[in-house]
Amino acid sequence: MPRHILLVDHECHRTTKSFDFFAALLRRAFDVEVFYYGKHYRVRIPREMFVWADVIVYLEFLPSRFRIAEPGKRCVFVPMYDNEWGSRWQWRRIAASGMAVISFCGRVTEHARRCGLKRILDVRFALPPRPAPGDPRVAVLWDRGEVGPDQLRRLFAPGDMEKVILVRRPSPGQVFSPIPEDFRKFCHVELHEGDFLPDDEYHALLAEPGVYVAPRFKEGIGMAFLEALAAGKIVVANRDATMDEYVEDGVDGSLVDMRRPGRVSLPETSVEVRLERARQRHERWKTDETRILDFLRNADSLSPCGRGWTPGSVLRFFLFIFEGLLFRLFH
């Protein structure tokens, strides 16, 4: 049975802490060492760590376009829906390599299976209920450059909201769109700028609003909106993964087309109903925790990845590169 896991993550998650839950779960059953990709998606791992590890788990990113796994090792990929998950030929390379996959998104799972992947575990993360429903006349948005003030102006009519809390944590080179003046006229905007807040300050900031506007068009897992659901808040989100795999439209949130939003109708369900949904999601996650550990313990679900290049893998690699070039030309 595997005992040692080498977990390879991206350094951005050191700040966001969005994958801390996964490392903590693995440490319940395994010895775990974590290494981080740098900003250029490069990671230097001592050779002796590859020898030490029984299983290598790659979070969100594979080692490189050329070498997707460590040959001869049991390797597991944990993809995210918001990072190049959709390439048909990349997934066929993954399937042919013998790599296993743990997926937190139904769309990724379905696509991977269509591309021939056999060793895949489909799970959903959820936080335990933490009641803090807030005021339904106050909304909050963490502006991350996708969903912003323009969408807020289209979602809410004058008089819908007494206040909108706008949180901005700029990344290098990021420029935010200005807050429309007509929006300021019918709604008080409270702006918070600066670095990431400590957890206690962040949760204090989120205590007042009863409506949470999800900030992105698609998510890998989506820790922030999952925290809002666990608190019993109403979540307004784009109708895409992973939000639409958790938010029940008209019950604990509203799903809309955030690229072309219109006026949103907020559900009138009670806080108790929304918290019961949160409890049900967390009960499923507790079952999925056991499934993940069993999947990694079971040698039958993990086989060593193939060695080197084959004619088929070379062909799939060039088709993957060609597919990516076409995507960039026409999107």
Fold of 4-126+285-330: Rossmann fold (3.40.50)
Q: Evaluate if residue 327 carries a pLDDT over 90.
A: no
Which residues is 10 bridged to in the sheet? 37
Which residues is 58 bridged to in the sheet? 8, 77
Nearest CA to 55 among 303, 292, 288? 303
Rounded distance between C-alpha atoms, residue 245 and residue 327, angstroms: 26
Lowest mean pLDDT among 39-48, 140-149, 215-224: 39-48
Residue 174 Ramachandran class (φ > 0 left, ψ -120 to 50 alpha, else beta)? beta
Query: What's the pLDDT score for residue 169?
Result: 77
> Parallel, antiparallel, or unpaired for β 163-168 and 120-122?
unpaired
Query: What's the pLDDT score for residue 308?
Result: 65
Q: Which whole number is the average pLDDT over 166-185?
A: 79
Digit-coded pLDDT (tens) for 285-323: 999 999 999 999 986 678 888 866 788 888 888 788 887
User: Which CATH number applies to 135-277?
Assistant: 3.40.50.2000
The pLDDT confidence band at residue 329, using thresholds 50, 70 and 90, is confident
Non-local CB neighbours of 27 within 8 Å, separated by 6+ positions: none
Digit-coded pLDDT (tens) for 58-102: 999 888 888 888 889 999 999 999 886 778 999 999 999 999 999
Q: What is the mean pLDDT of the chain?
A: 90
Q: Give the start-to-end residue ranges of the domains of the chain.
A: 4-126+285-330, 135-277
Non-local CB neighbours of 126 within 8 Å, separated by 6+ positions: 226, 229, 230, 246, 278, 281, 282, 284, 285
Digit-coded pLDDT (tens) for 93-126: 999 999 999 999 999 999 999 999 999 999 999 9
Q: Is the pTM here over 0.75, yes or no?
A: yes
Q: Which whole number is the average pLDDT over 4-16?
A: 87
Query: What's the pLDDT score for residue 106?
Result: 96
Cβ neighbours around 196 below 10 Å, total: 11
- Do the domains at 4-126+285-330 and 135-277 have one common CATH topology? yes
User: Would you call 200 exposed, middle or buried from its count of C-beta atoms within 10 A (0-12, 13-18, 19+)?
Assistant: exposed
